[in-house]
Amino acid sequence: MSTPGTRRGRGRRGRRVLWWVLGSLAGLLVVAGVGVVIWSQVGVMAAEPEPLDAVRADERITVTDDSAAIVLSPADGDSDTGLVFIPGAKVDPWAYAALLAGAVAEDDRTVVITKPWLNLAFFDPRGLDTFTDLAPGVDTWIVGGHSLGGVRACQLAADADALALFASYCATDLSDTDLPVLSLAGTEDGLSTPQKIADARGLLPADAELVEIDGASHASFGDYGPQAGDGEPTIGDGDMRARVAAALGGFAGSLGR
């Protein structure tokens, strides 16, 4: 039979073991958290300077660098439709400015390019209004994104008027909604391949507009250089921007009709 002293000793040892286990778990969580932060900052694909310089020099575009996002707006201030654009994983948000500038300069759309936490959209819990509030004069909002940014855009689509996917596809089922959807894909994309996009087609509304850009790779949807695992693009940067601007312009123009 154990004595009261023995039971107290066992209780103290049990508590010490419990605190040791809890302390070890906390330490592992801290190490894992630090590891994720370090990983998210290593290998970020930087924006190429020349295309970005051209955007900043365009007198038709006003560039606002906010802590939450980059806002590209028509210099005359007249814009009723906007796009909240979410970058791909570990891609500098500025790398998308040139691709999307045509929508601003030629079609008077406002573009808000988000700055995801830890360079990864999945770690960014902010709602769509965090970004739409940066352009309060805009009435109609499209949410979109490139690659994994598009997957995140699908999750925010319920709060938007339309969805635009750039070399991306949904993991969220939107097939029963009446949401207008534009999906842009590249024939030479080695990451979000045409087959992967086709396999996820059932998650989009039946009337979603799918546009395949001949010669475009995954990295053709931004200006950040080649990307590991991607295909070889055969379309020039100028043609790529024109194709995206035309598709996005026609899609935005159809909203509300």
Per residue, what are the HEC states of 85-139?
Answer: EECCCCECHHHHHHHHHHHHHCCCCEEEEECCHHHCHHHCCCCCHHHHCCCCCCC
Query: Do 149 and 27 fall into the same domain?
Result: no
What is the widest separation between alpha-carbon atoms in the chain? 89
Query: Do 75 and 183 fall into the same domain?
Result: yes
Query: Do 76 and 154 fall into the same domain?
Result: yes
Query: Do 134 and 219 fall into the same domain?
Result: yes
- pLDDT tens-digit map of 186-222: 999 999 999 999 999 999 999 999 999 999 999 999 9
Say which amino acid occupies 241.
R
Query: Do 74 and 19 fall into the same domain?
Result: no
Query: Do 74 and 97 fall into the same domain?
Result: yes
Query: Do 137 and 204 fall into the same domain?
Result: yes
Query: Do 28 and 91 fall into the same domain?
Result: no
- The predicted model gives 181-185 an average pLDDT of 98
Total count of domains within the chain: 2
- Of the three residues 42, 59, 74, the one that is the final residue of a domain is 42
Distance CA 43, CA 237 (A): 23
CATH number for the domain including 241?
3.40.50.1820
Q: Is the per-residue pLDDT at 34 higher than 60?
A: no
- pLDDT tens-digit map of 1-30: 555 555 555 556 656 666 665 555 555 554
Beta carbons within 10 angstroms of residue 39's beta carbon? 13
Question: What is the structure's pLDDT at 123?
Answer: 87
Query: Do 107 and 74 fall into the same domain?
Result: yes
- Give SS3 for 149: helix
How far does Cα 234 stand from its chain's mean position? 24
- pLDDT tens-digit map of 128-157: 999 999 999 999 999 999 999 999 999 999
Query: Integer distance in angstroms from the first to the last C-alpha of the chain?
Result: 85
Query: Do 12 and 66 fall into the same domain?
Result: no
What DSSP string describes 44-80?
-BPPPHHHHHHHHH-TTEEEEE-SSEEEEEETT---S
Domain span at residue 240 reads 46-254
pTM for the predicted model, two decimal places = 0.86
Does residue 180 contact residue 162 with C-beta atoms inside 8 Å?
A: yes
Query: Do 15 and 140 fall into the same domain?
Result: no
Query: Do 165 and 205 fall into the same domain?
Result: yes
- pLDDT tens-digit map of 71-129: 999 999 889 999 999 999 999 999 999 999 999 999 999 999 999 999 899 889 999 99
Question: What is the structure's pLDDT at 78?
Answer: 82
- pLDDT tens-digit map of 36-71: 444 444 468 999 999 999 999 999 999 999 999 999
- The predicted model gives 167-182 an average pLDDT of 98
Q: Which of 148, 207, 197, 198 is nearest to 175 (CA)?
A: 207
